[in-house]
Amino acid sequence: MMLEEITSERLGERYYRYTHSSGVTVLLYPMKGYSTVTAQFSVKFGSVDNCAIVNGGKPWHIPDGTAHYLEHKLFESPEKEAFARFAETGASCNAGTSYDSTRYYFSCSANFEKNLEILLDFVQHPYFTPENVEKERGIITQEITMYLDSPAWRVCMELYRGMFADNPVRNDIAGSAESIALITDKLLYDVYDAFYEPSNMYLCIAGGFDMESAIEVCERCLLPGKSMNTVSILPEEPARVITPRVQMSMPLGKTNFALGFKSPAYSGRQMTEEYIYQTLMNDTTVGAATDFYRSMRDSGLINETFESSIMMGRGFFVPAIFGESDDPDRAAEAVRAEYRRRKTEPPTREAFLRAKKYLYGDNIRTFNNVESVAQNLSDAALTGTSAFDYAELAAAADYEGMLQRIENFDEGNCCLSVITPSEE
C-alpha cells in the first residue's frame, strides 16, 4: 500500500491518497483538534449517465432517475437497514444524487471505525427485491412532485430545457413518473454492476480520526470488484441554446427568472479555472458591489434576490443570473447589455483584486469545517483534481485572464426562463 501525500504550502494543509487493491481511491484528511469525522463514499454515476456501453456492447439506455432510485434502495438490507444501524451508533447519515455523482456519507463524533464499516458494508452490498423496489415507487413519485412546488428548482429545470437539446441535464435528477415506472430490481442490479465498480468509486474521510484505524477498516472491508469496462455516453450537444425564452406559471408572489448562458463544458482543472474566472467576471460586472447592481436595485427592476452563480458538472457549464422582477425581460436585457459594455469598459484592476480576495477567502474558510473538507475531497476526486487546486488557481488568477474571458463571453447565447404568478 503506497500512501501519497498531497500538500499545499500556501495553505499549510495536507492530506493522503492511496489506491486500494480493489481500485477504490481513498483520500484521508486528518484535521487536528476536531472531534467530528465525516466520510463520503462517492460513485461517478449520476442522472446524466442515462446511456452506456458495457463490455463493448451496444448502447444501453437507462431510464431517467435510475441513479437516484438506486441511491434510495441501497440503504436496504436483508437484515437491518443502514439508517437503523447508524441510529444505533449515533451517527447521522444521508446520501444524495446529483447530475453526475452519487454520494453516501455519515458524520459522527464517536464509533468512527464502526460507522465506516457500516458505510462500506451497505454501499458494497446491494439488496434489491421486486417488493422493496416496488415499495419505493410511490415515495419517489412524491419526491418528484414536491420539487415541482419549488419555484427555485423549476425556474432552473425549465432553463435547462430551454438551453439544451439533448444533454440529459434537461431531465429531473429523480426522473419522471413515466421513467421510474420502468425501474426493476433486475435493472438496479445491472446498473449497480456497471457503475459501482471500485475504480469508479472514491472514499473521502476528513476530521478527527486515526489514520491507521481508517486504513485498517478500508483494507478489511473494501471488496474486490469486477470491471465491466463501462463507458458513459453523453450525447453531442449543439453549441447554441435551443430557444431564447421559456415561460410557465405557478403559485408565487412575484415573477421569478433565470438567465442562463450556454458555455462549452469543461473538465478537470480547467473546469475549476473557468469557474474561478467566470465568478470573478460576474462579481465585477453584475455583483452586489457594482454600480450596475446598485442602479438596478434603485430602479426597482430587481430586488435583493438577484444573484449570479455557475451551475456545472460533467458535460455542462452554465453561468446564470437568478432573481425576481416585474419585468424580467427588461432585467435580462440590462444584464446582457452590461456584459457587452464591459468588453470595452472593463472592471478596474482594483475591483478584480477585491473580488479575487473574497473568492480566495471563501475557499480558505471551507478548510475549517469537517463536512466541507470531505465535500471538497469528493468534488476533487470525482473531477480528477486536487482539493488544493481551487486555492492555487484562485491565487494565480490574473486581471488579464479575466479581461480575456470578458472579451470572449458570448452573452447572446442565452435563454431566459420566467415563472409568473398563476391566477388564483
In the complex, which residues of this chain contact a copy of itself (CB under 8 A)? Answer: 31-36, 83, 87-88, 90-91, 107-110, 135, 138-139, 141-143, 145-146, 148-149, 151, 250-254, 288, 303-305, 358, 361-362, 364-365, 367-368, 370, 422, 424
CB 266, min distance to a copy of itself, A: 27
Concerning whether 136 is annotated as a catalytic residue, the answer is: no
**Closest distance of CB 166 from a copy of itself, Å:** 29
CB nearer to a copy of itself: pick between 196 and 293 = 293
Q: Which is nearer to a copy of itself, 21 or 94 (CB)?
A: 94
Task: Provide the minimum distance between the beta carbon of 260 and a copy of itself in the complex, in angstroms, as a whole number.
Answer: 22
In whole angstroms, the minimum distance from the beta carbon of 138 to a copy of itself comes to 6
- How many residues in the chain? 424
Q: Give whichever of 148 and 223 is closer to a copy of itself, judged by the CB atom.
A: 148
Please say which residue, 212 or 304, places its beta carbon nearer to a copy of itself. 304
Q: Which residue out of 4, 71, 350, 371 is catalytically annotated?
A: 71
Alpha-carbon distances, residue 11 vs 205, 261, 332, 399 (angstroms): 19, 33, 39, 22
**Nearer Cβ to a copy of itself (302/403):** 302
Active-site residue numbers?
Answer: 71
